[in-house]
Amino acid sequence: MSMTGADLLLQSLYGMGVEACFANPGTSEMQLVTAIDRIDGMRSVLALFEGVATGAADGYARIAGKPAATLLHLGPGVGNGWANLHNARRAGVPLINLIGDHAVDHLALDAPLTSDLDGVAGSVSHNLIRAETAEGLGEAAARAYASAMTPPGQITSLVLPADLAWAELEGATIAPMPPLPKPAAVEDSAIDQAVDALKAGGRRVILVGSPVTGDEGKLKKLGLIAAATGAEIIADTFVTKTARGAGRAGIAKLQYFAELALDQLNGTAQMIVLGTKAPVSFFAYPNVSSYLVPDGCAVTQLARPEQDVDAAIEGLLSGLGIDPNAAAPVAERVVPDAPEGQLDAVKCWQSIARHMPDNAILSEEAATSSFGAEAFLPTAAPFDHLQLTGGSIGQGLPVAVGAAVAGPDRKTICAHGDGGAMYTIQSLWTMARENLDVVTVIFANRSYAILNVELGRVGAGNPGRKALDMLDIGRPDMDFTQIAKGMGVDAAKATTGEEFEDLMKAACNRRGPFLIEAVI
């Protein structure tokens, strides 16, 4: 069988289950572009900016539970996608970057696009694989897939020199699915220590991370433990995916601001950490502790993210004598009243919770505009909540793109701050081209509002006009309805609760992309 090196690589990945490629290719990737064209079942999704491609691959993995590929052009292409690769790395998702490089002989000539590609890609990858021979590209694909699927999920970058991609191969064999790594075992002593901590007196908190929150079954079992012991279940502030809404076990979120998180955890005597690490604040603040565990609180590390959290939960149930099949307490559906009057973020969430359909996906990067969501989301219809994991803004729109590709029969809602949306606004064009079923809500407050809050908290002094201008994104005000329409997405603006309600209802009852600019 005659094929190119690019064919061998991509057909091997496709056979392992890589069915989507989010691409922004260049000259060095042309062989990969045509190789994708020869695979009927592989979907190629063009992004106009690499940060959209990398963020979309993250969103795809969160819903599909397996990696997509990105197709990136040399070091600058990886650099453009780096911020959302950082977010994906923090999310613990499986992702495979296919990065074209100059032909081996060409590298020595130091052409204009030559850069420290391995350094740029390696800084955000768990594993960097540089292909050495065209004949070895099947084996390289298997290594990349196994690496990406290492629990809880890893970023793997495979660098492919152009001459290996265009090499003609005779008799090449598609690589089979490799053995996949299993989660690391949880120590029996850690389970015993956690059981003892849950049996102890005082306030007990089980702090859980991304390997737990996205699984409805795990959350229900933790709900049984909470009901039996009086312990509280609290999730990290930003996790990869949370199964939320009616019929699911409710779960509290750790507060974002350090002072509020310290107040939230105050008085905790025992903290059991499951699928994450002991909590720390996002930033340092004068005279505020960055380590959020209260003084005198004993911390038990039950399972790290790469460990077998299922076995850890089963161990707790067994050690506490709890029937895992018992009925767990779950949230009931509550439909809020329709919002009225001058629009604000709380009224937007009120309407979103009214109309979000069953099994929806919420990609949320609302920043300060999320501060009303928790009044309504816990009792909305069942949905999956995807959040900004690494703190680098501009993730929400691309994650919505990837999630909608992975879940085409589910409604995706993207709730986004206006400042962060402008980092990856090109996502709207991809939504239009692919006719993705995404309702985008832009909270238009004309400000990097979170930075206005942080300005005082970090003790930066009394800001003057130049300082405040760096946090203000008005003058001129951006018109997101016009921006969206210019990229092929139908859009409308709301300034009152009634207007937003009508638009959200209509958007949730139609298919295809639609944007609502919520002027708040």
Q: Which runs of consecutive H residues, i.e. helices, occur in 243-328? A: 258-265, 309-320
Same domain (yes/no): 166, 223: no
Q: Please report, in tens digits, the pLDDT of each residue of the chain (520 residues total).
A: 689 999 999 999 999 999 999 999 999 999 999 999 999 999 999 999 999 999 999 999 999 999 999 999 999 999 999 999 999 999 999 999 999 999 999 999 999 999 999 999 999 999 999 999 999 999 999 999 999 999 999 999 999 999 999 999 998 999 999 999 999 999 999 999 999 999 998 999 999 999 999 999 999 999 999 999 999 999 999 999 999 999 999 999 999 999 999 999 999 999 999 999 999 999 999 989 999 999 999 999 999 999 999 999 999 999 999 999 999 999 999 999 999 999 999 999 999 999 999 999 999 999 999 988 999 999 999 999 999 999 999 999 999 999 999 999 999 999 999 999 999 999 999 999 999 999 999 999 987 778 877 887 887 878 888 888 888 888 899 999 999 999 999 999 999 999 999 999 999 999 999 999 999 9
Same domain (yes/no): 31, 87: yes
Output the domain CATH number for residue 422: 3.40.50.970
Parallel, antiparallel or unpaired: strands 168-170 and 2-4: antiparallel
Q: Is the pTM of this model over 0.85?
A: yes
pLDDT of res. 1: 61
Range of the domain at 137: 2-170
Number of domains in the chain: 3
Same domain (yes/no): 223, 155: no
Q: How many CA atoms lie within 13 Å of 28's alpha carbon, on the beta-carbon side?
A: 25
Q: How far is CA 280 from the centre of its chain?
A: 20
| DSSP conformation class of 315 | H
Same domain (yes/no): 108, 158: yes
Which has the closest alpha carbon to 329: 246, 408, 398, 263? 246
Same domain (yes/no): 414, 468: yes
Based on the number of CB atoms within 10 Å of its own CB, is 341 exposed (0-12), middle (13-18) or buried (19 or more)?
exposed
Query: Is 175 within a domain?
Result: no
Same domain (yes/no): 200, 166: no
Residue 39's identity, in one-letter code, is I
Contact between residue 233 and residue 226 where contact means Cβ atoms under 8 Å apart: yes
List all residues 6 or more positions away from 260 whose beta carbon is below 8 Å from its beta carbon.
none
Rounded distance between C-alpha atoms, residue 12 and residue 191, angstroms: 40
Strands (E), 334-462: 360-365, 383-387, 412-417, 438-444
pLDDT of res. 459: 75
Query: Is 327 within a domain?
Result: no
Supply 505's token pair. 């209802």
Query: Is 505 within a domain?
Result: yes
pLDDT of res. 201: 86
Q: Which runs of consecutive H residues, i.e. helices, occur in 74-187? A: 74-91, 104-107, 117-122, 137-148, 162-166
Same domain (yes/no): 423, 515: yes
- Rg from Cα positions in the chain: 24
